[in-house]
């Protein structure tokens, strides 16, 4: 698979390490009353869709950026690649 | 019809006119006591043991495609019980014991061949870890044997003992492990289940699970609604798709695992051999092809095909321990979709929906588990309580921190 890095252009997926579902960006609040339940859901439960999947890839052998890759799990087609930092900021992280 | 040597001779002398279809092509009835979703090894084994062992009636197996067309026909056919942890080892040893009596039990030649499995050791710490695992196996009634480098050199002279990076320092053998003709497992269980009255309904895709007052009452299928008192889901690889129909998230990701077969060779490998430093395992089929595989590709996939970097990695592993493999050409390769669970161990449990039961999360170890998985799932479906060897395979073990993580990798499914 070729991942079209927003900054570096098309790169072989072998340069990357795969983490998993993009929802892993949204780490729950450890002080919440139901933190145990929230962390259970965050750490262990997955949508695991057959089709479009937004997922985190780390450019380990490149610029060390985290990317959010939109990829179809039925065809391996990659339709969108974004910098994870931008998405996390859009979702209100690290303001 | 019972199969036997006598029957083969009789049919040979009478023009092979007496053979009957191995199972009926059943039409779906309006309602069953128990419906199993998924006509793979585990689903068919569940139906077989439900009918034969647990005396259940009115059972159906519904399958989207044809039986045995999924992972039971896509694996590398290895059976073994060389696990370490308490939640796992009794279950897998139970499974291996069932394999040993399986062909007599369901009167079908599944070519169960206990040719042994050997895990190679490449360093002193690995020797300690493997000996510890061997002791855990022995404590659970399995067999394990430590083999020195000299013993191995006598048995398997073709291995590369003096690889500069990964010298072979010994091995952990399980002589009762081996291989089984995987398609015949599906066919044998299907035939056995059919003879006990189970309806096997192929080309019948489950589209939804109908609920009433919080209870599952049947399945919507491409061939209409089929009612059921109990529904068992045994569709590993696609578990999230079925459970997604009732809006449940699972501690599972689907990943693709590739497997390979070389051209047919004269007998060169006596048993199953696994590389201890990379991920590579190989055996030789009775047709002569070397059957081998390695790691999963490592990203979510339902595509049943993988990418070339893993092909290269697997072949490197093969060349590292067995340079002669470089003389063989790869004939075929394919991919299967695995339920990779969050701790690398399976789930056989009730769901929070009454009447809906779940069997999945087999990672890439489902084939060897087929008989025990079927038996334990049948036990759960028939008696509403887990079998004694499967009590740890619960959904809530993640919430309670009771993971069964053989490799100690944590909640990272692509590393198990």
Give the model confidence (pLDDT) of B234-278 as tens digits.
Answer: 999 999 999 999 999 999 999 999 999 999 999 999 999 999 999
Dump pLDDT digits (tens) for B377-400.
Answer: 999 999 999 999 999 999 999 999
Q: What is the pLDDT of residue B281?
A: 97
What does the pLDDT average to over A6-34?
A: 96
Torsion of CA B405, B409, B415, B416, to 10 degrees: -10
Neighbouring C-beta atoms of residue B54, cutoff 10 Å: 15
Q: Are B60 and B198 in contact (CB under 8 A)?
A: yes
E strand intervals along B29-105? 31-37, 59-62, 78-79
What domain range includes position A8? 2-26+35-90
What does the pLDDT average to over B15-23?
A: 94
Identify from B297, B299, B345 which residue to disrupt to test chain A contact, counting A C-beta atoms within 10 A and taking the largest count.
B299
Instruction: Residue A19: list chain B partners with CB under 8 A.
Output: 412
Dump pLDDT digits (tens) for B118-164.
Answer: 999 999 999 999 999 999 999 999 999 999 999 999 999 999 999 99
Residue A55: inside a domain, yes or no? Answer: yes
Q: Which residue of chain A is at minimal alpha-carbon distance from B400? A: A40
Confidence of residue B316 (pLDDT cuts 50, 70, 90): very high
The reply to whether residue B254 touches residue A43, judged by beta carbons under 8 angstroms, is: no
Q: Which residue of chain A is at minimal alpha-carbon distance from B255? A: A73
Q: Cα(B258)–Cα(B11) distance, rounded to whole angstroms?
A: 40
Residue A80: inside a domain, yes or no? Answer: yes
* Three-state secondary structure string covering B145-172: EEEEHHHHHHHCCCCCCCCCCCCCCEEE
B→A interface, C-beta within 8 Å:
238, 240-241, 244, 249-254, 298-303, 307, 309, 342, 398-399, 411-414
Sign of the four-CA dihedral B384, B390, B396, B400: positive
Nearest-Cα distance to chain B for A87, in Å, is 21
The reply to whether residue A50 touches residue B254, judged by beta carbons under 8 angstroms, is: yes
Q: Does A89 contact B at CB distance below 8 Å?
A: no
Q: What is the pLDDT of residue B414?
A: 94
What does the pLDDT average to over B13-22?
A: 94
Residue A95: inside a domain, yes or no? Answer: no
The answer on pLDDT for A94 being more than 80 is no
Q: Which residue of chain A is at minimal alpha-carbon distance from B251? A: A45
Residue A78: inside a domain, yes or no? Answer: yes
Of A14, A46, A76, the CB nearest to B249: A46
The domain total for chain A is 1
Q: What pTM was estimated for this model as a whole? A: 0.96
Question: Whole-number mean pLDDT of chain B?
Answer: 97
Q: What is the pLDDT of residue A93?
A: 80
Q: Cα(B40)–Cα(B62) distance, rounded to whole angstroms?
A: 10
Dump pLDDT digits (tens) for B333-363.
Answer: 999 999 999 999 999 999 999 999 999 999 9
CATH number at residue A83: 3.30.2270.10
Query: Residue B68 region, left (φ>0) first, then alpha (ψ -120 to 50), else beta?
Result: left
Give the helix ranges, DSSP H, for B196-247: 239-244
Confidence of residue A95 (pLDDT cuts 50, 70, 90): low
H/E element holding B51?
Answer: helix B41-52
Q: Does A43 contact B at CB distance below 8 Å?
A: yes
The reply to whether residue B301 touches residue A76, judged by beta carbons under 8 angstroms, is: yes
């Amino acid at each position: 698979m070729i991942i079209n890095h927003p900054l570096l252009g098309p790169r072989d997926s072998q340069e990357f390490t795969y983490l998993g579902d993009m929802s892993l960006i949204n780490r729950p609040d450890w002080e919440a009353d139901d933190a145990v339940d929230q962390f259970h859901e965050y750490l262990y439960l997955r949508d695991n869709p057959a089709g479009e999947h937004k997922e985190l890839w780390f450019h380990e052998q490149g610029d060390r950026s985290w990317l959010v890759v939109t990829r179809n799990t039925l065809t391996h087609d990659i339709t969108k690649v974004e910098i994870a930092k931008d998405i996390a900021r859009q979702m209100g992280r690290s303001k | 019809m019972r199969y036997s040597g006598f029957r083969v001779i009789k049919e040979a002398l009478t023009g092979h006119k007496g053979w009957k279809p191995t199972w009926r092509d059943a039409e779906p009835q309006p309602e069953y006591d128990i419906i199993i979703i998924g006509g793979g090894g585990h689903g068919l084994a569940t139906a077989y043991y439900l009918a034969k062992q647990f005396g259940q009636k009115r059972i159906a197996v519904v399958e989207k495609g044809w039986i045995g067309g999924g992972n039971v026909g896509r694996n590398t056919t290895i059976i073994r019980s060389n696990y370490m942890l308490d939640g796992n080892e009794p279950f897998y040893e139970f499974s291996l014991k069932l394999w040993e009596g399986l062909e007599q039990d369901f009167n079908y030649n599944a070519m169960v061949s206990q040719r042994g499995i050997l895990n190679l050791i490449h360093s002193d710490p690995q020797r300690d870890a493997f000996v510890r695992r061997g002791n855990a196996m022995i404590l659970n009634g399995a067999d394990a044997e430590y083999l020195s480098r000299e013993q191995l050199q006598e048995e398997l002279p073709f291995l590369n003992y003096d690889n500069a990076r990964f010298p072979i320092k010994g091995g952990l053998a399980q002589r009762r492990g081996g291989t089984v003709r995987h398609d015949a497992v599906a066919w044998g269980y299907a035939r056995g289940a059919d003879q006990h009255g189970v309806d096997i309904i192929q080309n019948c895709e489950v589209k939804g699970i109908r609920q009433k007052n919080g209870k599952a009452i049947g399945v919507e299928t491409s061939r209409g609604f089929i009612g059921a008192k109990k529904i068992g889901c045994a569709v590993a690889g696609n578990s999230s798709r079925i459970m997604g129909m009732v809006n449940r998230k699972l501690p599972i990701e689907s990943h693709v695992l590739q497997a390979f077969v070389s051209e047919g060779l004269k007998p060169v490998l006596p048993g199953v051999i696994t590389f201890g430093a990379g991920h590579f395992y190989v055996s030789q089929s009775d047709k002569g092809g070397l059957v081998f595989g390695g790691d999963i590709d490592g990203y979510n996939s339902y595509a049943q095909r993988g990418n070339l970097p893993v092909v290269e990695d697997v072949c490197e592993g093969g060349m590292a321990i067995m340079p002669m493999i470089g003389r063989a050409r790869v004939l075929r390769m394919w991919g299967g979709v695995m339920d990779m669970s969050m701790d690398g161990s399976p789930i056989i449990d009730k769901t929070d929906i009454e009447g809906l039961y779940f069997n999945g999360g087999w990672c890439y170890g489902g084939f060897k588990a087929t008989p025990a998985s079927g038996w334990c799932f049948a036990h759960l479906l028939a008696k509403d309580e887990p079998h004694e060897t499967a009590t740890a395979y619960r959904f809530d073990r993640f919430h309670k921190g009771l993971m069964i993580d053989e490799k100690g990798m944590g909640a990272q499914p692509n590393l198990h």
